[in-house]
């Protein structure tokens, strides 16, 4: 027997990779979003900046007073590539649960990563966790851009 849908914890409504993201007053402001391939000149590579925009859906019936949202970069084998995941502790208050008739409410957050190193071409992913439990995975590929060659006249 499965649990009723509203007894589940937070889930990810939206998660996307972008050049820049800000989460302000319940909205995600996204610049250069929705990509899945990161092009670099060569390997090893260091990418100057990328961001993740996330919208969580939290059931009103979920009883926790706080939530830990974390993002961890992993390689194709699931090996973490950062010393520790980037985390935000979010205090949930009754004010966020706007209506007795609502089934859930949304939380938007953004994470920015500067100077990420990539040793090799291939698949990578950001694992999104709530309270240290994975709830979503953003997959992307890092590839070397082919050098431009002059065309023969």
Among candidate residues 38, 62, 56, 60, the one with its CA nearest the CA of residue 113: 38
pLDDT over threshold 70, residue 142 = yes
Strand partners, 92: none
pLDDT over threshold 90, residue 110 = yes
Among candidate residues 14, 49, 52, 46, the one with its CA nearest the CA of residue 33: 52
Separation of alpha carbons 108 and 146, rounded Å: 37
Once rounded to an integer, what is the mean pLDDT over residues 44-69?
Answer: 90
pLDDT over threshold 50, residue 1 = no
Residue 151: per-residue pLDDT:
64
Residue 100: per-residue pLDDT:
60
Once rounded to an integer, what is the mean pLDDT over residues 108-126?
Answer: 95
Q: What is the pTM of this model?
A: 0.84
Q: Where are the domains of the chain?
A: 5-144
pLDDT tens track for 66-104: 899 999 999 999 999 999 999 999 988 765 544 566 678
Higher pLDDT, 114 or 152: 114
Asked if CATH classification 2.60.40.2550 holds for the domain at 5-144, the reply, yes or no, is: yes
Residue 8: per-residue pLDDT:
77
Residue 62: per-residue pLDDT:
77
Residue 2: per-residue pLDDT:
40
Mean pLDDT across the chain? 87
């Amino acid at each position: 027997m499965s649990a009723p849908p509203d007894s589940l914890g937070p889930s990810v409504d939206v998660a996307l990779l972008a050049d820049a993201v800000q989460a302000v007053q319940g909205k995600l402001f996204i610049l250069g979003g929705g990509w899945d391939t990161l092009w670099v000149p060569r390997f090893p590579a260091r990418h100057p900046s990328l961001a993740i925009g996330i919208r969580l859906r939290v059931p009103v019936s979920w009883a926790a007073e706080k939530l830990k949202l974390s993002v961890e970069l992993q390689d194709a084998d699931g090996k973490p590539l950062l010393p520790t995941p980037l985390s935000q502790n979010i205090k949930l208050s009754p004010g966020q649960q706007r209506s007795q008739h609502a089934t859930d409410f949304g939380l938007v957050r953004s994470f920015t990563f500067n100077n990420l190193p990539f040793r090799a071409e291939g698949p990578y992913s950001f694992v999104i966790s709530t309270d240290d439990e994975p709830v979503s995975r953003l997959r992307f590929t890092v590839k070397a851009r082919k050098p431009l060659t002059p065309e023969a006249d």
